[in-house]
Each structure stands twice: as C-alpha cells, then as structure tokens.
A and B are shown apart, each in its own frame.
Chain A
Amino acid sequence: MGLSELEDSLDARLLLFMEQLELLEEKRSTLNSLIEQGWFSMSKARYSMGNKQVSALQYASEIEPLVCVHARTLGSGDVEFCTERVAQSKESGKDVSSIEDIGPQEEGVRRRNKPKNVTPEKEANDEASSEKAPDVTPVRKSDQNPQQDPLKWFGILVPQSLKQAQSSFKQVIELSAEIAALQTTVLNTRQELKKSMKDKHFLRKETSAAQADEAAE
C-alpha cells in the first residue's frame, strides 16, 4: 500500500473513531440520566415506605437472574452484547392463594389429653368447617419462588415510584449492553489506528531515505 493510500485509510479510520467516541459519549450521558432517574424514584419510594423498607435488608434469600447477556465475538475482533430477559414463571395465582407462614413450624406439637368422648356432631361440624375454608396451602418463606419479580421483595402493594425505578434500571441494563459493545469497538479501532500510524511512519522514513539517496546521486 502506498503512502497516500495509507494516509487516506488513516483519515477514514480516524473519522470513524471520532464518530464512535461521540456515540459512546451520547449513550453514556443517557445511561447516567437514567440511573439518576432510577435513584430519584427509589428515594421517593423510600420516603413513602420508610427508610429500611427499600434497602438491602429486603433482598430475598434466593434470587435467580431474570436477565442475561449474550456475548458474541465477531470476525473483526469486536464483541456484540445482547440482553435477554427470561420469562417469569406464572405462579402469581399460587402466590395469591398461599399464606406465607413465618416462624417455627409446630410439627412436633400435638394435642395431649385427647378427650375420649368426641361427639359425632362436633366431628361433622369440624369436617364441614374444613370443607368451607378455602384451599390455602401454608408456604414457608424458603419456598418463595426465586424467579419472582424483585418488586415483591418490598411488599405486595408497592408505590408507583418503585415501579418507575425498576423500569429505569431495566432500561439501564439494556443500554449497558450497547455501551459495552461500543467500548470494545472503540478500543479495537484505536488499536488499528495505532498500527496504521506506525506503518505510516515506517513508510515515510523509507520514502525520505529513498529520496535522499536519489538526491545524493
């Protein structure tokens, strides 16, 4: 490749690098604004729910990720990041009909001194009441679905501001994947530019040495 061709290629690559940097800066600015928006919504939720109600104390004991990222290395050395949100298991109906049973399970406790004379009417009444009671299954806290919506850690009824915070952070996660990809692209372009500049300096030295030889002759 001749010197002028190399210089043209270098100019094009430099312009591309500047464009990528500008795009990266724009996305970063959007990311930072979204994060700040999320914090602001969280602060509003904390104000209405209480300081400790929106904190690390509310995290579940078992959590499964609801979003993952797929990373793919392209031929040019760039890396493509793509987020994928896992569909949550539809167990909301089960959650509503189950009562959370917190505290020691009284499995070992049994009725002592069982009365011998149990009237059949009383037994029938007991059976009837058990039939009338809704089919409720007591659930221990450890049986909570680890794939549940994290909003549920903070209570059944959460303020709208907490939902807004969640929505902001979901957008931040999507944008993070784009920025991660852009960062690797920017660094790769930088490496290519560095290599091209070295080639250009080398070629220029060779050209000036050849010209000096010609002038000497």
Chain B
Amino acid sequence: MAGRGKLIAVIGDEDTCTGFLLGGIGELNKNRKPNFLVVEKDTSITEIEETFKSFLARNDIGIILINQFIAEMIRHAIDGHMQSIPAVLEIPSKEHPYDASKDSILRRAKGMFSADDFR
C-alpha cells in the first residue's frame, strides 16, 4: 500500500463533523476544497448534492461518511453511485437513529431475494 493515502470525507450536522474532525480526518487549506460539509438548518439540498458529487469526482477520497437523514435528502444521488471507491457509509445522527431499511447498500443486498429464487 504505497503512495499517499486517500481522505475520509464527512457530510453531517455540526456534532458529527466536530467529532470526526476531532478524530483527525479534516483537511482545510487555501489550495483545496475542504473534505467536510457542516449541514445546518439553512443548508440547501442543492448544496448538499453538489458537495456529494464533488466528493465522488475527487480521486483522493476513499470513504464518504454521511448522516442518514441527509442521505435521505439526496437518496437518488447515493443510489446512483455504483463504484466501490469512494465507499459511502450512512451513519446515524443525534436526532435520527440508524435505520437499516433505508440504507442504500443493504437495500441493494436484500432486494435480490424473491420466492422463485428458493425453488
């Protein structure tokens, strides 16, 4: 595993971003766009979607962490992402606990089974 590693991006509410930045994943400087977005009450869905797409387009991001309630706002964009890298992980927020039935990955994994498959 030679070469410079990839970043971990986060799209979340203030507490989520603060926590992960405390963990040391943040990058912020004049030359590059930050790898995190603090979503507040007045943050538009367009901005969230554009940030998500910009993270997907960057080749230096390996994992995108996103609060599930924010992922619900841009579900179509997340469902459209089929590549393995960057990996998208949906995480809970303080006010919205994690719901496995809404997770894109698990829906894709569980949706394959039907009664015919077991004959």
Contact = CB atoms under 8 A, between A and B. Distances in A.
A6 interface: no
Contact of A21 (B29, B30, B109): B109
A55 B18 contact: yes
A49 interface: no
Contact of A63 (B27, B94, B97): B27
Contacts of A193: 112
A171 to B, nearest CB: 9
Q: How large is the interface on B (under 10, 10 to 19, 20 to 34, 35 or more residues)?
A: 35 or more
Interface string A90-134: 000000000000000000000000000000000000000000000
Contacts of B42: none
Nearest to A172: B23
Contacts of A21: 109
Contacts of A62: 28-30
B109 A35 contact: no
Nearest to A88: B24
Contacts of B74: none
Chain A at the B interface: mostly helix, strand, loop or mixed?
helix
Nearest to A197: B117
Interface SS, B side: mixed
Nearest to A177: B63
Contacts of B29: 62-64, 146
Interface residues of A, number: 59
B63 A81 contact: yes
A151 B85 CA distance: 30
B1 to A, nearest CB: 4
Contacts of A79: 84-85, 87
Nearest to A17: B109
A71 B62 contact: yes
B79 interface: no
A82 B92 contact: no
Contacts of A168: 19
Task: Output the residue of A31, A70, A84 with the most chain B CB within 10 A.
Answer: A70
A176 B8 contact: yes
Interface in B22-37: 22-30, 34-35
A57 to B, nearest CB: 10
A203 interface: no
A183 B23 CA distance: 22
Contacts of B73: none
A39 B15 contact: yes
Nearest to A29: B98
Given A65-B35, A173-B8, 5 more contacts: A63-B27, A69-B5, A69-B6, A71-B6, A170-B23
- Top 10 nearest A-B pairs (CB, nearest first) are A68-B5, A66-B24, A180-B87, A169-B23, A70-B1, A63-B28, A69-B62, A63-B26, A166-B22, A79-B84
Interface of B: 1, 4-8, 14-30, 34-35, 38, 62-63, 65, 84-85, 87, 89, 91-92, 94, 97-98, 100, 105-106, 108-109, 112, 117
